[in-house]
Structure 1
Amino acid sequence: MTLTRRALLGAGAALALWPAAARAQDVAAARALVDRLVAEVNAVIASGVPEDRMIAQFAQIFQAYADAPTIARYSLGADARAASPDQLARYTQAFSNYVAEKYGRRFREFVGGEIVVEDARAVPNGIEVTTTAIFRNQAPFRADFWVSEATGQPKFFNLIIEGVNMLLSERTEVQALLDQRGGDIDRLIADLSAM
């Protein structure tokens, strides 16, 4: 088979278009993920179930849609490299449960309101899906979900609410908790599990 200049140009054009098509699919998949997440959150908000069940349902939603291992590892910072695989696995589980309940309790503030997905766009570390939270007697506010397919499927790995970055906030909090425990990851795991 002889390669012609036209064939090479055609192949180059196809390769140049592929990343754009892949990005478009990534954007669509990320938006679909947040659409499903928001639909589930809105359904829980509207359900009228008791608060403890609502928090448990929000925690399940967090577990289903968040890239908990990435969030957990980031929160440990440099200490994640020093942790054994067993410690990292136990920490990830304890941290995931802790964060899911923590944010589940925050979601109860959404009762009487709704979250609307506005837009999605590619950003350097994944896809940013912009939403607006609308509540009674409050000004609407922006919440951005950062989504990646690093796990093989779309999951959100960061949430930025009115400029407050969840990853950075959790890292600051975990580092303070770890410092209070003299850098003992096992104590941190035990205490997060008890919270």
Structure 2
Amino acid sequence: MTNFTRRHATGLIGAALASFTLAPSPALALDNASAKKLVDALVGEINRIIGSGKAEAAMYRDFERVFAKYGDTSYISAYAMGNDGRRATNAQKSAFSNAFQTYISRKYGSRFREFIGGRLEVQSVRPVKSWFEVKTIAYLRGESPFVVTFLVSNRTGRDKFFNMFIEGINLLLTERTEIGAMIDRRGGDINKMIADLKNAG
């Protein structure tokens, strides 16, 4: 069985396990107002960064800081590693989490950088299962507005976003697919994937 076939066959099992071991727990202290407050603050920082006029490298460092501050990075990185995380050592998981945070900040920071001259505005909040969905609208110069959605929980004891959709593209599923493909292209070598991830994005 090829790596691709094996990954495809075990993917549903891994996703099912993740739903029990990683999914945000019931947000007892989280409500609409708290979820909106988090995303208002997050959006405010993104808007300040894209309006700062800083050089690209400086903007990416700012996006990484914002991602670490507002994002549930442990959940996002564990989900991205998916089924391969079950065979990774603790050292590999830690190294991957650090590299992944920088990688995803560059990747999505470059997307937010396209918003220069535009802005994000929070539009609505609604409860979904054990988390909250916060919809924002991105207004860009010369383009039609589109939706950017954040999913917020307090799984860690603090309000954090654990997933994001840009024009319907799911961050968690996209990154799990791409990280899995990176591992497959390196013959299943997690260390090589981590080394290459540091220069990706």
TM range (shorter): 0.7 to 0.9
Q: Measure the CA separation in 1 of the matches of 2:178 and 2:130.
A: 23
Matched AA of 2:132: I
Alignment match of 1:30 (pick from 30, 35, 38): 35
Shift of 1:81: 1.3
Q: Measure the CA separation in 2 of the matches of 1:135 and 1:194.
A: 29
Structure ID, larger Rg: 1
Higher share in helix: 1
1:108 and 2:148 are equivalent in the alignment: no
1:77 and 2:82 are equivalent in the alignment: yes
Q: Measure the CA separation in 1 of the matches of 2:172 and 2:197.
A: 17
Residue correspondences, number: 174
- Asked whether the 8 Å contact 1:117–1:131 carries over to 2, the reply is yes
TM-score between both structures, scaled by the size of structure 2: 0.82
1:66 and 2:63 are equivalent in the alignment: no
Look up the SS of the partner of 2:135 in the other structure.
strand
* Structure ranking higher on relative contact order (CA contacts 8 Å, 6+ apart): 2
Matched AA of 2:173: L
**Residue range with higher mean Cα deviation, 171-180 or 56-65:** 56-65
Shift of 1:22: 4.4
Shift of 1:56: 1.9
Overall identity of the aligned pairs, in %? 46
Q: Measure the CA separation in 2 of the matches of 1:111 and 1:194.
A: 24
Aligned to 1:191: 196
Q: Deviations over 1:97-135 (max 9, x none)?
A: 111111111111010000000111111241110000001
Alignment match of 1:45 (pick from 50, 53, 62): 50
| Structure 1 stretches of 4+ moved >3 Å | none
Matched AA of 1:112: G
- Asked whether the 8 Å contact 2:133–2:152 carries over to 1, the reply is yes
TM-score between both structures, scaled by the size of structure 1: 0.84
- Asked whether the 8 Å contact 1:45–1:112 carries over to 2, the reply is yes
Matched AA of 2:40: D
RMSD: 1.6
Q: Measure the CA separation in 2 of the matches of 1:52 and 1:135.
A: 22
Alignment match of 2:131 (pick from 126, 129, 136): 126
Shift of 1:27: 2.3
Aligned to 1:88: 93
Q: Measure the CA separation in 1 of the matches of 2:61 and 2:28.
A: 36
Alignment match of 1:182 (pick from 179, 184, 187): 187
1:139 and 2:151 are equivalent in the alignment: no
Shift of 1:183: 1.0
1:171 and 2:173 are equivalent in the alignment: no
Structure 2 gap ranges (5+): 1-26
- Asked whether the 8 Å contact 1:113–1:133 carries over to 2, the reply is yes
- Asked whether the 8 Å contact 1:94–1:193 carries over to 2, the reply is yes
Aligned to 1:157: 162
Shift of 1:69: 1.1
Matched AA of 1:133: A
Matched AA of 2:178: E
- Asked whether the 8 Å contact 2:75–2:162 carries over to 1, the reply is yes
Shift of 1:29: 1.5
User: CA distance change for structure 1 residues 125 and 187 in 2, over 3 Å: closer, same or farther?
Assistant: farther
